[in-house]
Amino acid sequence: MNNRIAKVLRKTKETSIEAEINIDGKGIYNISTGIGFLDHMVEQLSRHSLIDINLHAKGDLHIDFHHTTEDTGICLGEAISKALGERRGIRRYGTSSIPMDETLSQVSLDLSNRPYLIWNVNFSKPKLGEMDTELFKEWFQAFAQSLGVTLHVWNHYGENNHHIIESCFKGLARSLRDAVELDERKLDEIPSTKGKL
C-alpha cells in the first residue's frame, strides 16, 4: 500500500488553515488553532486514533470561533479522505463506547463516502472555556461532510460537559482507528459490493 499521508491548505477571507496527516502514524500531534479547547480535542483525536496530525489555523477569532471551528473540521476531514484515496483495503466500519467517569458516549461510523451526521449530544452549559458548546456539532458536521463518513455520535449520559465532549472526540478517534485499519485478507479490494465507495 502507498503511504497514507496528505496535506490540505484552505485559505478564505475568514480563515487560513494548513492540515497535514499520516493515517499510519503514532498519534503525534502539533495543533494550533487559537482556540485552546479545540486544540485539546484535536489532540485527543490524534492521540487515540494514532493518526499523526499537524494542524495550524489562523481565523477571525475577533468575531467568534465559528469559522475557525468549522473550517478545521473541513480540513481534517478532507485530509483524511485524500490520504485514504479509493479506500481500498480498509475495514470501513468502526464503533466505540468511551466511559469518562460519570459519562458514557458511543460513536459509530462508516467510511462510505456518504456524509451524514446523527448528533445525539446535549450540554447543560453554553460554553466550555471560551468555546460555545453549540460549535462542537458544527465541527463534527464539517468533518463528516468533507471526509465522506456516515457518523453517529450519541452521549448516553453524563453531567460534566468537558467529559461529555471529550468522550465524543475519543470515541471518534477509536472508531476511526478501527475503520481505517487495513484488512490483511482484502488489501486489494474496495469494501463494497458496488466496487466503489
The C-alpha cell at 49 is 486514533
Distance, in Å, from the CA atom of 33 to the CA atom of 96, rounded to the nearest integer, reads 27
pLDDT over threshold 80, residue 2: no
Mean pLDDT of 4-29: 97
Distance, in Å, from the CA atom of 111 to the CA atom of 181, rounded to the nearest integer, reads 11
The C-alpha cell at 31 is 495543533
The strand pairing partners of 187, in sequence order, are none
Q: Is residue 147 part of a domain?
A: yes
User: Which run of H or E residues covers position 162?
Assistant: helix 161-180
Q: Is residue 189 part of a domain?
A: no
Q: What pLDDT is stored for residue 1 in this prediction?
A: 55
Q: What pLDDT is stored for residue 139 in this prediction?
A: 98
Residue type, 83: A
Q: Is residue 41 part of a domain?
A: yes
What tens digit of pLDDT does each residue of 78-111 get? 999 999 999 999 999 999 999 999 999 999 999 9
Q: What pLDDT is stored for residue 188 in this prediction?
A: 87
Q: Is residue 185 part of a domain?
A: no
Place of cell 453554553: 126
**Structural domain containing residue 82:** 5-180
Instruction: Count the domains in the chain.
Output: 1
- Residue 69, phi then psi, degrees to nearest 5: -60, -50
The strand pairing partners of 132, in sequence order, are 127
Q: Which residues of 138-154 are buried (b: 16+ CB within 10 A; e: fewer)?
A: bbbbbbbbbbbbbbbbb
* Closest C-alpha among 70, 99, 85 to residue 158: 99
- CATH, residue 42: 3.30.230.40
